[in-house]
Every structure is written in C-alpha cells, then in structure tokens.
Chains A and B, each alone.
Chain A
Amino acid sequence: MKTDLKEIEQKLHELKPAKLPDDLSAKIENIFENSDHIQNKHTALRKIIWLPKMQKISAVAALLIACVGVFFAILNDQNSSNKTTSSKVSVNKPLKKDQFVPTNAKNVFEGVKDEGLFLSKDKIPYHGVRYQFLDSFLWENEEDGSSIEMKVPSQRLFLVPIKTH
C-alpha cells in the first residue's frame, strides 16, 4: 500500500465517531425500558407469525382427512370388486350352459318411400323421404349350436328443405 494511503488510513483510525446526541440516546434507551409496551406489540406480531403455523396445522389436518378418505375409498373399491367377482362367479356359472353370444348384426336397406311435401310452422317447404331398413341380430350358443335371430324393421324420415327463389 502506498505511503499516502497508509497515512490517510492512519488519519481515519485516529478519528473517533462523535458521541450520540442526548435526545437520541434517551429515545433508544426508552425502547429498552418500555419493554412491556413493546412486548405487547411483539406478542401481537407473534400472533401474526403464528398464522402460518396454524395454516400448517390445518394443512396437516386436511391431509390426514384426505388420507382417511382415500383409505376408505380404496377399502370400498376392494369390497365392491370382491362383490362383483363373487356375483360373476355366482351368475356366470349357471349361465355358462345357455350362454348366447352375439355373432352377427346386419342393417339391410329395403327402399325409399316418397312422403310428399311438408310445410313447417315457419312456412318452409320440405320434401319428405322415408328410408326403410331391416336390422337383424343373431346370437349363437356355442354349447349346443342353437341360435336366436331377431329382425327389427326400422325407418327414418328425412325432411329435405326445398329452396325457393
């Protein structure tokens, strides 16, 4: 370090900070003495600081309740699955002999029928077209080769709006 700098450093070391103003000393000492007054404020502050702790406790409680809920939900699921399996066993076993399995389903188009003109409530003309189908379903029993066939006629009416210029 240069001599000049050491000299300045020495000068600074020789200087001592000025004494505190009396009024400031008194004010600060007052802080220490009025402990009761500030202690109350401190307790009030602590109350505010306690808030996160309470939140933590409530969070833990909520977590605990959630855990209990999940536990019971799992327990309930297990019970219901047990029931299902048992019911499957009880229902499926006697049905196995007469079990019919769906093997075929057809949707046969049979024809179109002109239904003429329609006029809606808001006076828009429509052309009615009725499509006719025959839906057939087939079930077979693998055990004895018997089958059930069901034919259901169905029709759908389409209203096609007619453009008028």
Chain B
Amino acid sequence: MKKESLAESWKEWFHLNGTRLLLFARGKTKSEADAQDVLQDAILRLWKSYSSPIDGHFDPPPLALTYTAIRNAAIDHARRTNRRTQREQKSDFIVRDRDQVKNWFETSSLEQSEQAQIIKEALQQIPEKFQEVLTLKIWGELTFAEIAENLNIPANTAASRYRYALDALRKILKPNSI
C-alpha cells in the first residue's frame, strides 16, 4: 500500500471515530488541552504500531484497543502532569489555570446546548469508573463484553457499573424522582 493511500485510510478512520475518541479522552482528563494531548499521544502510538501493513491492506485498529491506548496515554499524562505540578509548586513558578473545557456534545439550539452542558457536568460528577463504562457503552459503541475486556473487569461488573452510572446521573439530573 502506498504511503498516500495509507495516510488517507488513517484519516478516514479518524474522521469516523475521532469525536467519540476525544469524548472518551475528555472523560479521562481534567482539561481540554490535556484531552487533546492524550488523544494525539494515543493516536501516534497506534499509528506507530499499525502503520506498516504487511499484506498491503489497511486494517483499522479495533476501537477497544484505541480506547485502551487513550486510557494508557491518559495515565501517563496524569503522572507527568503530577510530577510537573509538584516541581512547579516547589519552585516559584505559577501553576497555570486549567483551561476552559469546551462543549462535549454537538448542539444546534440554545436549549440543547444548555442540556448538553448539564449532562456534561453531571458526567463529571459521577465516579470515573462509572463514567468510563457509560461513555464506552453509549458513545463508544462497545458491548459489555468488549468493555469488560478493555477495563479488565468481569462483564457483569461492566453492566452493573453502567446501571449505577445511569442511576447516579438520574440522582443528579432528577433529584426529586425516587
């Protein structure tokens, strides 16, 4: 496969999946800049592993593997950031403020935009382990079996976490409902 067509295949794959991958990265990081860095890092790692097709055709990386790459990149990024923050706090440098997180969801009206903002904030409030299962299930389009494999947990646990996540969201979004 020629380099040009290989690059085109990668672009096509990224156009199809980029939004959901960024959404997952946003859930794993604390700022938009971090999420973008993590996504780039993960894509670069995947590209290095998958860039040399042996039999001449492009096999896109499986989504589950891509999420794992993002997860690992986020962990590495968090470690680096922690070290940097500690270093900066020890010295006299000022730690930069976290940048403003952009909209996580596509909206066409003001009402939708408000609702999307509320859901985004609710997602940020629920425990991370619930949030990642919910993101992978709804927007990542993975099955519970794939999520379980990805997170190295039993499939039943993945399903339970999904229910707990929905329940936690319900408590935040509809506090008066039983």
Number of residue pairs A-B, CB distance < 8 angstroms: 94
Taking a contact as CB atoms closer than 8 A, the residue among B23, B44, B51, B104 that contacts A39 in the complex is B51
A28 to B44, CA, bound (A): 8
Taking a contact as CB atoms closer than 8 A, the residue among A16, A32, A41, A45 that contacts B106 in the complex is A16
Task: Report if A95 contacts B (CB, 8 A).
Answer: no
**Partner-binding segment picked from B62-70, B77-85, B162-170:** B162-170
A27 to B43, CA, bound (A): 11
User: By the criterion CB–CB under 8 Å, are A35 and B51 in contact?
Assistant: yes
**Partner-binding segment picked from A2-10, A53-61, A127-135:** A2-10
Residues of chain B with a CB closer than 8 A to A9's CB:
138, 166
| A10-47 at interface with B (beta carbon < 8 Å) | 11-13, 15-21, 24-25, 27-29, 31-33, 35-36, 38-39, 41-42, 45
User: By the criterion CB–CB under 8 Å, are A5 and B170 in contact?
Assistant: yes
Query: What is the chain B residue whose CB lies nearest that of A15?
Result: B105
User: By the criterion CB–CB under 8 Å, are A20 and B105 in contact?
Assistant: no
Task: Report B's interface with A, CB cutoff 8 A.
Answer: 3, 6-7, 10-11, 14, 18-20, 22-23, 36, 39-40, 43-44, 47-48, 51-52, 102-106, 115-116, 119, 134, 138-139, 163, 166-167, 169-170, 173-174, 177
Task: Report if A48 contacts B (CB, 8 A).
Answer: no
Chain A nearest Cβ from B38, distance in angstroms: 11
User: By the criterion CB–CB under 8 Å, are B39 and A18 in contact?
Assistant: no
Q: How many A residues are at the interface, by size bracket?
A: 20 to 34
Taking a contact as CB atoms closer than 8 A, the residue among A18, A25, A38 that contacts B48 in the complex is A38
Chain A nearest Cβ from B18, distance in angstroms: 5
Residues of chain A with a CB closer than 8 A to B7's CB:
32-33, 35
Main secondary structure of the interface of A (DSSP, over half): helix
Residues of chain A with a CB closer than 8 A to B174's CB:
4
Residues of chain A with a CB closer than 8 A to B23's CB:
17-18
Taking a contact as CB atoms closer than 8 A, the residue among B11, B115, B166 that contacts A5 in the complex is B166
User: By the criterion CB–CB under 8 Å, are B103 and A13 in contact?
Assistant: no
Query: What is the chain A residue whose CB lies nearest that of B3?
Result: A35
Query: Given A1-B163, A8-B170, A11-B119, A32 and B19 touching (CB < 8 A)?
Result: no
User: By the criterion CB–CB under 8 Å, are B18 and A18 in contact?
Assistant: no
User: By the criterion CB–CB under 8 Å, are A4 and B104 in contact?
Assistant: no
User: By the criterion CB–CB under 8 Å, are A18 and B103 in contact?
Assistant: yes
User: By the criterion CB–CB under 8 Å, are B3 and A28 in contact?
Assistant: no
Residues of chain A with a CB closer than 8 A to B119's CB:
11-12, 15
Taking a contact as CB atoms closer than 8 A, the residue among A11, A12, A21, A32 that contacts B47 in the complex is A32
The 5 residue pairs across chains A and B that have the minimum distance between CB atoms: A17-B19, A17-B23, A32-B10, A32-B7, A15-B105
Residues of chain A with a CB closer than 8 A to B22's CB:
17-18, 20, 24
